[in-house]
Amino acid sequence: METLIIIVFALGYLAITLEHNLKIDKLIPALIMMAVCWALIAFGLDGFTQWFDSGKHALLDNFGVLGHKEKLHLMEETLLHHLGKTAEILVFLLGAMTIVEIIDYFNGFATIKSFVKTKSKKKILWIFAFLAFILSAIIDNLTATIVLISILQKIVNRREDRLWYAGLIIIAANAGGAWSPIGDVTTTMLWIGNKVSTAKLITYLLLPSLACMLIPTFIASFLPAFKGNLEDTENEDEENTSKFGPTMLALGLGGIVFVPIFKVVTHLPPYVGMMLSLGIVATFAEIYSGTKFSMSTPGEHHDHDTTGHHSPVHRSLSKIEMPSILFFLGILMAVAALESLGQLFNFATLLKDTVPPIGTELAGTAVSDLVVLLLGIGSAVIDNVPLVAASLGMFAEPQDNPLWHFIAYSAGTGGSMLIIGSAAGVVAMGMEKIDFFWYLKKISWLALLGFLAGAIAFIAMRAIL
């Protein structure tokens, strides 16, 4: 039965990787894979000889001798445990995405656009690279990419120029998201799972992430695509800018930045702080819009094109990317199925036994740098969310072990090497219709150089700290 579950898991992953060829949204195979894996576990429960206790990060010694009712009860408890941990991530993401949509409702991001005064392609490249690096650490790399490409479309007329900028934004956004606990879904997973702390994450990864952004941007600044000046663009939609835009931008970003502080002070899960921030931002949004609350008003028709006649909170919630939320649910719960059977634990043991360490050994573990680098490269081919989810079940190192920080860096930045390797890449691909092979030819080598530069910087820093 274990073999059948692994086959279902592999086929699901293949369908996710080939979603553009199959023309099937990746959330569909993710949800099917999750449901079928757990169904197979339920059918074959009596035949399993081992079970992984996620709370203790160890295999149960006596699982094989338990009766059917005891095994069934244990499976239900394990399923509920994983659903709770997954829900923490999903609720956190829902809150962050809603706050960003509220800011966009008031056209708050136009404030950022107003700072771009130059026409030099090279200067604009550096401006967007640093904006992506900083914004992704605050509002996550996916959201930062959406915001910056939206601004880019108003500044850069020629699509050929925008493709190059979008490629470097993807690299910078993924690099910026790696060193912040709220900058990338995978980093958030490690943070919520108490594998990394905010202070240590920034200490270990700020400079490596900066190197990962600076090296590709520096090299790209000498390429023909970034020589000369941009064509003049017309100022459009200035009349649509809300007078509350700058206020909502500061309030929204401040609310998101407040979440890590709330966690440190209260020791509550991050999603609680995110819900508090969302409530405060939503309150000001309703006051500024001059409309009544309508998050749960039944039987009312809302015109989503007329912002003056419905709640900004209701409109923002309606624009949330639910397919992404459901994809994370499916993939995380599918990985949990393999973890519960002890497959990921066994795989980690196999890696530790067969892969010799090269260079400096990670503190407290025999896992080599090569394994973590391969995980980063693999995140360009396979979604980095399941890879990090797998690592949570594979390794039992304590909080803030350098292993977790290197995993955060590798999984967060390695996806830049392919356009479909990260959420930022996928959204940029959709917004600018970037061709897979164009990105592979023009941008991937820059992303690889940045990834390796950051890895070298991390190894050097780890030896010092």
Query: What share of the chain has pLDDT > 70, as a percent?
Result: 84
Average pLDDT over the chain, rounded to whole?
81
Residue 436 has pLDDT above 70, yes or no: yes
In sequence order, what DSSP letters do the residues of 312-339 get, joined into one string? HHHHHHHTS-HHHHHHHHHHHHHHHHHH
Task: Please count the other Cβ atoms lying within 10 Å of the Cβ belonging to residue 291.
Answer: 17
Total number of domains constituting the chain: 1
Residue 56 has pLDDT above 70, yes or no: no
Sign of CA dihedral 55, 6, 24, 147: positive
Buried b (16+ CB within 10 A) or exposed e, 417-440: bbbbbbbbbbbbbebbebeeeebe
> 267: which 2 tokens?
């020791």
pLDDT at residue number 111: 75
Q: Does residue 86 sit within a domain? A: yes
What is the distance between the alpha carbons of residues 34 and 145, in angstroms, rounded to a whole number? Answer: 29
Query: What share of the chain has pLDDT > 90, as a percent?
Result: 22
C-alpha distances out from residue 452 to 24, 33, 120, 201, Å: 33, 33, 29, 19
Residues 6+ apart with CB under 8 A from 340: 41, 51, 52, 54, 75, 78, 82
User: For residue 52, what is the DSSP state?
Assistant: E
- Average pLDDT, integer, range 262-290: 89
Q: Is the pTM of this model over 0.95?
A: no
Q: Does residue 22 sit within a domain? A: no
Residues 6+ apart with CB under 8 A from 53: 59, 60
- Rg (the chain; Cα; Å): 23
Residue 396 has pLDDT above 60, yes or no: yes
Nearest to 187 by CA among 333, 416, 384, 49: 384
Q: At what angle do helices 121-139 and 141-155 cross, to 10 degrees?
A: 150
Domain of residue 379: give its range: 81-293+306-465
What is the distance between the alpha carbons of residues 57 and 124, in angstroms, rounded to a whole number? Answer: 48
Q: Does residue 74 sit within a domain? A: no
List the Cα angle 63/69/70 in 5-degree steps. 35
Residue 443 has pLDDT above 80, yes or no: yes
Q: Does residue 46 sit within a domain? A: no
Per-residue pLDDT tens digits for 60-90? 777 777 788 888 888 888 899 889 988 988 8
Per-residue pLDDT tens digits for 124-160? 999 999 999 998 888 778 778 877 887 887 788 888 8
Greatest C-alpha distance within the chain: 75
- Average pLDDT, integer, range 296-305: 46
The 3-state DSSP class for residue 120 equals: strand
What is the distance between the alpha carbons of residues 96 and 207, in angstroms, rounded to a whole number? Answer: 26
Q: Does residue 126 sit within a domain? A: yes
Q: Does residue 3 sit within a domain? A: no
pLDDT band at residue 299 using 50, 70 and 90 as cut-offs: very low
C-alpha distances out from residue 402 to 88, 137, 195, 196, 405, Å: 24, 20, 10, 9, 5
> For the purposes of burial, counting CB atoms within 10 Å of the CB of 452, is it exposed (0-12), middle (13-18) or buried (19 or more)?
middle
